[in-house]
Amino acid sequence: MRSNPFRILTTALLALTLAATPAAAAPDVPLDDPIPEKPTPSALTLTLEEFAAFPKTEPVPTPTDQRLVRWARINYLGQVPDHTGRLFVNDLNGKLYLRDHTGAWVEYLDVGTAFAPDFISGRGLGSGFGFVAFHPDFAKNGRFYTVHTEAGAALAKPPDLTPQPNSIVHGVISEWTAANPRANAFEGTRREILRLGFGTNIHGIQQIDFNPTAKRGDPDHGLLYVAAGDGGRGVTTTYAQDLGLPQGKILRIDPAGTNSANGKYGIPSGNPFVTRPGALGEIYAYGMRDPHRFSWDQGGSKRLLLGHIGEHAIEAIYDVRAGDNLGWSAREGSFVFKQEDRCRLYTLPDNDAELGYTYPVAAYDHDPPPGHRCTSDSGHAVVGGMVYRGRRLPFLFGKYVFGDIVDGKIWFTYAHRMRRGEERAVMYEPVLKDTAGNRVTMRDLAGSNRVDLRFGRDAKGELYVLSKANGKIWKVTSARWEPGS
């Protein structure tokens, strides 16, 4: 029989490919370096121009963790949806600021004082006035929503959904109604709509927000998304996988409804588990450790992108859809996490596709230094960002910009390459420069090795970078390709 040269060459190439396949491809293999690829340096150059600086604030009670001692714990920048052009910024220590028509920042509301003496911001990295979300119809109804943490006498109040055993802190969502939505200082009323109990001071309610892409008449319009962490208990429990519990989930509720157990909000009929016996109808997605920051891509598919902080090694971005299970604590990123072996991650089992987990569309690992104790903080945590859809910076258009909270590294990926079920998108590291053209890092701009990085976005889609270290905000005013910079 005559040999086929093409078949021989193909067989040889296949053999070489199989021989080059790493042992980690086999199931249930411990991994020393789960994500060996590193961010790729890019010639994309971003100019950061100082935009705002906020007054010093103090956490209460006085913190024992020095990571909470910051100049101002500013946590987000957004724009009030009322066509006035006003921007807002919240400080975890209790203040809510608005930027008025003159460009001055004014104190709109002191959330900390409103809930004293039970309000706390000095225990746990996410404690305090965590987030504010203005209703998309704020111009007409004057409503906005805040989340804050309480302890002390407040712990005698019963949580609305099953609390974690021996809860030491409550995450509380409140609805505020401004008598005059155009005023630059709040006057009006408030009501509590949801209270959750957590067993530690970490991984509570991180963000609340409305889908800005949902227009009036859309089923998602006016529904509030609530990112609730696992309360720091995921390493020893299966809380995040339990659909009867709110912890370790993204919830979706209707603040205008009344069909919840407490009658203070509604459970949307389109939520994925409303008909499942034993499951909370409030749950939108589950299996999360610390769902820290999410945003919607305001172009393209308008998908929800989540920055999820990992336990042992993996910092990840997910494309989250209704009913998704991100896997924690059976999975950390796209790897097996074993509670009995917290110091290593493992490769996936052969039948993993049958288990229905959702895996990251982008991720990086910690790369701890030699001798680092595996259960100690390695100094890395992802902060989710945004897909840039503004008009001022065409070279940034369509890129998802995010970073690391601690060291302040900023990266981007191409949004169209962040695809579920495929290889993780390549991460690129842009060059950062100040307005004088000097190459800088966020540590330089923040004046600290711990940047406490955050991102913000205005109604035009322009991008802002925040640091708690010195309480400053920078606007990205230029994006250009500078090969060799």
Q: Measuring CA to CA, which residue among 43, 42, 49 is closest to residue 436?
A: 49
Overall number of domains in the chain: 1
Q: Is residue 29 part of a domain?
A: no
* Averaged pLDDT for residues 380-409: 98
Q: Is residue 271 part of a domain?
A: yes
CB 240 within 8 A of CB 234: yes
Dihedrals φ, ψ of 247, to 5°?
-75, 140
pLDDT tens profile 348-374: 999 999 999 999 999 999 988 888 888
Query: The domain spanning residue 105 has which CATH number?
Result: 2.120.10.30
Q: Measuring CA to CA, which residue among 42, 40, 39, 49 is closest to residue 433?
A: 49
Q: Is residue 26 part of a domain?
A: no
Residue 419 vs residue 312, higher pLDDT: 419
Structure tokens at 264: 């203070």
Burial of 102 (0-12, 13-18, 19+ CB in 10 A): exposed
CB 249 within 8 A of CB 322: no
Dihedrals φ, ψ of 417, to 5°?
-95, 0
* Averaged pLDDT for residues 163-185: 98
Percent of the chain scored above 70 by pLDDT? Answer: 95
Q: Quick one: CA torsion of 285, 288, 292, 296, rounded to 10 degrees?
A: -30
Q: Is residue 141 part of a domain?
A: yes
Instruction: Return left, alpha or beta for 94; rule: phi > 0 is left, psi -120 to 50 is alpha, else beta.
Output: left
Q: How far apart are CA 386 and CA 415, in angstroms?
A: 10
Q: How far apart are CA 393 and CA 402, in angstroms?
A: 16
- Quick one: three-class SS letters along 379-434? CCCEEEEEECCCCCCHHHCCEEEEEECCCCCEEEEEHHHCCCCCCCCCCEEEEEEC
Residue 19 vs residue 74, higher pLDDT: 74
Q: Is residue 3 part of a domain?
A: no
**2 pLDDT higher than 60:** no
**267 pLDDT higher than 60:** yes
pLDDT tens profile 235-250: 999 999 999 999 999 9
Q: Is residue 44 part of a domain?
A: no
pLDDT tens profile 314-355: 999 999 999 999 999 999 999 999 999 999 999 999 999 999
Mean pLDDT of the residues in the chain = 94
Q: Is residue 4 part of a domain?
A: no
Q: Measuring CA to CA, which residue among 344, 341, 474, 233 is closest to residue 241?
A: 233
Structure tokens at 221: 């319009």
pLDDT tens profile 187-223: 999 999 999 999 999 999 999 999 999 999 999 999 9
Which of the residue ranges 18-27, 452-461, 468-477 would you say has the lowest mean pLDDT? 18-27
Look at residue 15 in the predicted model and tell me its pLDDT: 37
Within 8 A by CB and 6+ apart from 243, the residues are 273, 276, 278, 279, 280, 283, 286
Q: Is residue 2 part of a domain?
A: no
Q: Dump strand ranges (E) for 58-142.
A: 74-79, 87-91, 95-99, 105-110, 131-134
Range of the domain at 174: 50-481
